[in-house]
Structure 1
Amino acid sequence: MTTTEQFMQALQQAESTGNVDALVALHAPDATLRNLTDRTWQGTDGARDFWQTYLGNFERIHSEFTHSQEQSGLGVMEWTAEGELKGGQPISYRGVSLIDVDGNQVKAFRTYYDSASFVQPTAES
């Protein structure tokens, strides 16, 4: 099983249980994680914070991976996620995540997704 396959499996497990331990264990001690914000998380403590923050946005969430590939130290995952935000609003969005793999560890994680799905419409006056 490739590191990318292990990552996808660990993410789905974290989404279903809320426990990020198996997902964090895949990250190298000096890993970096980035999403569409300007912030970068570092190391396994950063990975734990990143994934707990991610899950904390949702009442429930489930990612389905539609395409994935790992080659020459790069894992690519295309996915859709569906669930419910905190507060009850349904959400469905899609994106792509990339991991740099060194041995069996994730050295870097970057994700790009449809951030407009997180914007809640305002009520008209």
Structure 2
Amino acid sequence: MAKAKPNNKVDPNKYLKNKDIEPEGKLGVAAAVGRMGLMLVGIVGIATEFFRDDGWLKAALGKLFESTSSMMLIPVIIFVLWLLNRWMSSESKSETKKSGDIPMYAMMAVGAYYLFKLITTGSL
């Protein structure tokens, strides 16, 4: 029985398409760090609102499970989340859609709100 030889042909020009890519400047890196910081502040702010004693999670679950008719909203919520996922994600993994940036910008806006609240009041 003969062994099959693996195909080890390597394209010598594999990375030639990347030769013109320049590294980001200091201003671009600072902007990226600022965007990431705003998103992290937004995540922490939402998490504190969500998980405090009388937070959003307790209120939302209380309203959702208080009656049978409101429990029928669960499939609708799942369907809406599925539609949002289909709208924001692209078919191919190599390309991205601009609508996929909407959650990032929304979280940055939430982060700016909580940063302003933190600076003016001293707490989230």
TM-score normalised to the size of structure 1? 0.22
- Give 1 or 2: higher strand fraction: 1
Q: Which has the higher contact order (CA 8 A, sep 6+)?
A: 2
- Give 1 or 2: higher helix fraction: 2
Select the structure of larger CA radius of gyration.
2
